[in-house]
A and B are shown apart, each in its own frame.
Chain A
Amino acid sequence: MSAISNPVPLFTDENWRLPSRGRVGMLSLIIGESAIFTIFVVAYVYYIGRSTYGPTPQILDIPVFNTICLLSSSLTIILAEHAIKNGRMRAFAAWWAMTMVLGIEFLIGTAIEWRKLIFDEGLSIRTNLFGTTFYSLVGLHATHVVVGMIGLSLVLLFTLFGRVEPRHAERVQVLAMYWHFVDAVWVVVFTVVYIVGR
């Protein structure tokens, strides 16, 4: 066969649009992460009440303030997304920073909760089965919050140096998808650990 120089029977479709690769990629990552969380949640639920000794879930306090902070950070990040889409960069920086403050508050709250559990209640990851499942599930979520904070802080740094512009709105939205996922997972973890399991 001779080289086919122009494999194009000319055909133009002005409506040829494809989904954004960032969104598809992030959605795929979220599906994969959901499977990881599913396994840990299933393990937690299956092991509720099966611990043969040691502290029980009754020692847990419901982290109301933490939950309010984390869930409202989803709202502030939506406001940030709207701001950058409309080109209001100062509002974007403010809402983005607010989101980070709420996320950091959540991590501090978790640290205080764990400190109380470890030193006052004597529950560590090796104490009993409840400790193992509790710290690994809540810790897995906290790890995702930390990863999200790293991503968010990079964007904040670039924003403060004036490198983020309205044309980056879509990339910011892709990162925000991850943050929404982290918040949504907290709803599941909260329900399982502090309501069903207690």
Chain B
Amino acid sequence: MADQTFPIPGTLAAPRSRGAAFLEWLHSWVVTVDHKKLGILYVVYALFFLLVAGAEAMAIRIQLAVPHNHFLSPELYNEFFTMHGTTMVFLVGMTFIFGFGNYLVPLMIGARDMAFPRLNAFSFWLTAFGGMLLYFSFIGGFGLYGMGSAPDVGWWAYAPLTAKAFSPGHNTDYWALALIVSGFGTLGAAINTLATAFSMRCRGMTLFRMPLFVWLMVVTSGLTLITITPLTAAQVMLLIDRYLGGHFFDAQAGGSPIVWMHFFWIFGHPEVYVLILPAFGIANEVIPVFSRKAIFGYPAMASASMAIAFVSVTVWAHHMFTVGMTSVSNAFFVLSTMMVGIPTGIKIFNWVATMWGGKIRFATPMLFCTAFLFQFLCAGLTGIMLSVAPWNWQLHNSYFVIAHFHYTLTGSFVFCIFAGIYYWYPKVTGRMLCEKLGKWHFWLFLIGFHITFDTMHFVGILGMPRSIYTYEADRGWNTLNMIISAGGFLQAIAVLIFAWNLVDSYFNGPPAGNDPWDAWTLEWSTPSPPPAYNFAEDPVVRSRRPLWDLKHPQDPDWKYER
């Protein structure tokens, strides 16, 4: 990146030492307000924490591989599963989606940068410091000996466990403060994405010509505005309880721990849609390009995304069927949860219809998206099962639930993120990722994923509860747990192959050129990597696939689109 500086005429151009050049390079990344650099920072940050939280998951699986294991102490086990969940959702998931959004939204709509570049940098650094604060808990405060200060109350942090009396020390405070800080960063990123998509589009880029990825980022950002803020509000209440002696969640003074559950899940359930919608957006870009067909049912896809966002804010209490709500509330949340199946079903059928009759190329991005379709379908089916309140009463807080949401978050979200990285890495770095290693990554991860999470359904039905640090040998869970752990290690190996591929291809990958996949959206019309100004001339578009129009002047899309 340092070679983008302009030569200075006169006497200043004396050669600099390596150290000075390195400092200048570092400085350029720290002070940058360029949406592409910030997007890369977001994604690198997310990849780093993906490895960290993955290592935590591995430690959990070693502990659970055999009964009565002593690999982790009970206290450390609580910290590890809390940190695994919190990290994966807030430091991996949220940063991946806003990293992709940051890099791609301006390029896809033909803009120079985000609407508020400095707010963009501010948001990233808030998120980054939130993550650092969260991990500082391992060494700060009263930490380090026995790793005592990391959050250990679960990523849902139910009251009254979080009250000062039951959680002395600073574990819960690190959790609340770190997430408040990174939450404000997320809010800034969401505001920025919305303003960019509505106010920075190039000429001719009407709302219904925007690439579907941009549509999904708009829906996600809108949902983020009303999703992250309730968590921030609830965490402020928690801190008032802990530090100012308040009584929000204190049952003795008339407060209610149930209210915390409601507030948390008002955030928590839409949050999974915040994560999965941009993943849909990636599938919306990858599947058409590798099927050599325009996306099937563009307006239906856009409106189904809106429908998912609206329905998703009415379903939160399906996490609370066992709390003892009234039958009317139970019935309402059963029905609203099942309604989610309708727009997501529309999406799955549209993706399949896009592939139907297409000339499919199974490059690595397409492999991940194909597996995503199958796994997302399974995740949706177990979701419908869990939405039935009596079934939920049986399986609540069991490993069946864990299997279900890892099918959505790993089997769908992470698979799409991998697809997106294989798809856009050539644009970002100018080099192709190694296809051979990509195939190894895909198949190992796929097999490991199914060994782990398919088996988890069974161990859940056999009654194994979540969040336990060990179990008795006579429960019949031993073999299954060993299989789950083995699958976990297969996934870890796959991720390490992926990490090696990212590093190695950066230096040794074949040059990509502008448009290695023969794609149709605007980002592929600029050089790889794109220059700081993105487009030498402001683009003008007349259809949803501007590069198709350009490559096929005798048969452009705008003749057919209305």
Tell me, yes or no, whether B247 is within 8 Å of chain A by CB.
yes
Nearest-CB distance from A36 to chain B (Å)? 5
Known: A7-B535, A9-B540. 20 other contacts (CB 8 A): A1-B515, A7-B522, A8-B537, A9-B553, A12-B203, A16-B204, A18-B198, A24-B195, A24-B198, A28-B221, A34-B226, A35-B229, A36-B229, A39-B234, A39-B263, A50-B254, A52-B252, A52-B253, A126-B246, A132-B255
Q: Is the CB of B198 within 8 A of A35?
A: no
Which of the 9-residue segments A40-48, A62-70, A161-169 touches chain B? A40-48
Contacts of A5 in B (CB 8 A): 536
Interface size on B, residues (CB 8 A): 64
Are A4 and B253 in contact (CB-based, < 8 A)?
no
Interchain CA distance A126-B540 in the complex, whole Å: 61
CB closest chain-B residue, reference A10: B540
- Would A21 and B233 be within 8 Å (CB), given that A35-B226, A132-B240 are in contact? no
| Contact A133 B248, beta carbon cutoff 8 Å | yes
Count of interface residues, chain A, beta-carbon cutoff 8 Å: 44
A13 at the interface (CB under 8 A from B): yes
A132–B266 alpha-carbon span in the complex (Å): 22
Asked whether, in the complex, the Cβ of B240 is within 8 Å of the Cβ of A125, the reply is yes
Q: Is A128 an interface residue (CB 8 A)?
A: yes
8 Å CB contact of B550 from A9, A12, A21, A35: A9
Cβ of B210 under 8 Å from chain A: no
Q: Is B39 in the interface zone, CB < 8 Å from A? A: no
B525 neighbours in A (Cβ, 8 Å): 4, 7
Q: Which residues of A come within 8 Å of B, CB atoms? A: 1, 3-13, 16, 18-21, 24-25, 28-29, 31-36, 38-40, 43, 46-47, 50-53, 125-126, 128-129, 132-133, 136
- Taking a contact as CB atoms under 8 Å apart, the answer to whether A21 and B225 are in contact is no
Question: B307 at the A/B interface (Cβ < 8 Å)?
Answer: no
B230 touches A35 (CB 8 A): yes
Some 27 contacts from A to B, beta carbons below 8 A apart, are: A4-B514, A6-B537, A7-B525, A7-B547, A9-B540, A18-B200, A21-B196, A21-B198, A24-B199, A25-B115, A28-B225, A29-B187, A35-B225, A35-B229, A36-B230, A39-B230, A39-B266, A43-B237, A43-B263, A52-B254, A125-B240, A126-B247, A128-B253, A132-B240, A132-B248, A133-B248, A136-B237
Set of chain A residues within 8 Å of B439, measured between Cβ atoms: none
Contact between B515 and A24, CB atoms less than 8 A apart: no
